[in-house]
Amino acid sequence: MQPIPAIDPRHDVLIVTDVQNDFCPGGALAVADGDAVVPAVNALARRFEHVVVTQDWHPPGHRSFASSHPGRAPFETIELDYGPQTLWPDHCVQGTLGAALHAGLELTRAELLIRKGFRPDIDSYSVFYENDRTSPTGLAGYLRERGFARLFICGLATDYCVAWSALDARRLHFDAVVLLDACRAIDLGGSLERALQAMREAGVTLAQASELR
């Protein structure tokens, strides 16, 4: 395996995705062992000069919530105008404690907090585009203007926010490294294995934080 080129503060940025209470044990859409990423993310954040944080941020009654579709249950898939949509329990509702970043995160030095999923009718896993694949969050322009070329991605969940963000990063011609030991997955019906395969095929580097120099 090729070693990962050393961290370069001019071109590298750490992106910490959705480490929020609702994705941690006890939360509305808990990811198994989700809070285990907190110390790993904190250690990473100390090593990068530039850190961006993201937050899933839905209005009440969001269209990705099963509760917005009478007769439907969480984790079923339905067809929406922009394609298949997994229905989730109500989660990360704007302004609630569940939507807050995990209190153990030490991200004082984060330079940007980007929120996604606030359009009532479109879900958003990727930090670059909503799930219609065309409505941008603005992050690509920000990163380009700052001169960042290589993105190190960690957080929750490996098979949704992390994977979709890494795939979009490649589509947008950024280098992308996913730090798997600083991520945890939802793993719904084989979604983790599919996401890992799609990332490999798209040229995303899958690595462990311990491989960083």
CA-based nearest residue to 197, from 156, 157, 158, 154 = 158
Distance (Å, whole) CA 126 – CA 149:
18
Question: In terms of CB distance, is 56 or 168 closer to Zn ion?
Answer: 56
Which residues of the chain form contacts with Zn ion (CB under 5 A)?
Answer: 56, 117
- 153 neighbors 179 (Cβ within 8 angstroms): yes
65 binds ligand VGL (CB under 6 A): no
Q: Which x/- pattern over 112-141 shows residues binding ligand VGL (rule: CB under 6 A)?
A: -------------x----------------
User: Binders of ligand VGL among 72-101, rule CB under 6 A?
Assistant: 88
18 binds ligand VGL (CB under 6 A): yes
Q: Which one of 22, 92, 116, 123 is the catalytic residue? A: 116
User: Is 187 among the residues known to form the active site?
Assistant: no
Question: b or e along 114-126 (b: 16 or more beta carbons within 10 Å of the residue's beta carbon)?
Answer: bbbbbbeebbbbb
Of the residues 16, 44, 53, 157, which one makes contact with ligand VGL according to CB under 6 A: 157
- 21 neighbors 27 (Cβ within 8 angstroms): yes
Instruction: Copy the structure tokens of residue 107.
Output: 């991200």
Q: Which one of 159, 161, 168, 183 is the catalytic residue? A: 161
Tell me which of ligand VGL, Zn ion, none is bound by residue 174, counting a contact when its beta carbon lies within the kind-specific cut-off of 5 to 8 angstroms.
none
Task: Please state whether 203 falls in left (phi above 0), alpha (psi between -120 and 50) or beta.
Answer: left
Distance (Å, whole) CA 198 – CA 118:
26
- Minimum distance of ligand VGL from residue 101's CB (angstroms): 13
Distance (Å, whole) CA 13 – CA 9:
8
- Please give the residue ranges that form the binding site for ligand VGL (CB under 6 A): 18, 56, 88, 125, 156-157, 160-161
Which residues are part of the catalytic machinery? 18, 116, 161
